[in-house]
Amino acid sequence: MSARNYTPERAEYLYMKTKTLNEKEKKTVPPQHKGEETGAAEQVEAADKETAVSIYNRARQRLMRVNRWGAVGGAAGFRLTDSKGKPVSGFPRNGNLIRIDLPGPGPKKGKGYDWVKIEKIRDEKSKTRDEEFFSIRVRAIAPPGEESGPNAHFYTKDTTNSFMVRRVGNMVYASVKGRNEIINRQPAGLFDRIRNTLVGLFASKGGSHLQWKSFLKGLLD
């Protein structure tokens, strides 16, 4: 396998490219209507198709093992749960939740955790092209059992993140695309409002981009 060398110019190109969606991504990533639009991307070029398929399958497996995301890259911890917040093992399903443990104090609303819901999983292999695609889309939510209340996340319920891996021939791509990112200032407690504002500002100013770049490199490593 030969990986591309990433100059600052190349890294910036890949970051801006996340705002341009291919046909498969358009079926996963929601339209951008309000708030911030963020993203990160990585790619590797394999020496041959067999190596590319191996890299893609490994990245796909890593993306499916939510409970091991923390070991892939970044500073957060992740735990897959059922709809009631009970930890589960195995591969994710639509409707499962992910409990996120960010560095520093978590929201009191979520008992120290940020929460997202898996709302769309796609796993496709083209019948006409040498291409494969896998994605998981999550949405920021209220804590389990309080679906109608304020979010237990530093972003509002408008916010989604789409995690994607794709192979086209000898190229393997990994990306994360955030859409409609709006800081959650709804919680009643002053602590959560301040905390969400600080974390949300850090994320929107490039913090999430750096974290997801580390995660994506881990997927393709």
pLDDT at position 18: 54
pLDDT, tens digit, 9 for 90 and up, residues 131-165: 999 999 999 999 998 877 889 999 999 999 999 99
Q: Which of 173, 174, 175, 172 is nearest to 50 (CA)?
A: 172
pLDDT at position 207: 83
**pTM of the full structure:** 0.88
pLDDT at position 129: 92
Angle at 162 between CA 158 and CA 164, to 5 degrees: 175
Q: Which domains does the chain have, with CATH numbers?
A: 8-220 (3.30.530.20)
pLDDT at position 149: 80
Structure tokens at 101: 């443990």
pLDDT at position 185: 92
- Which H or E run contains 101? strand 97-101
Q: Which residues of the chain fall short of a pLDDT of 70?
A: 1-20
pLDDT at position 1: 36
pLDDT at position 14: 53
pLDDT at position 2: 38
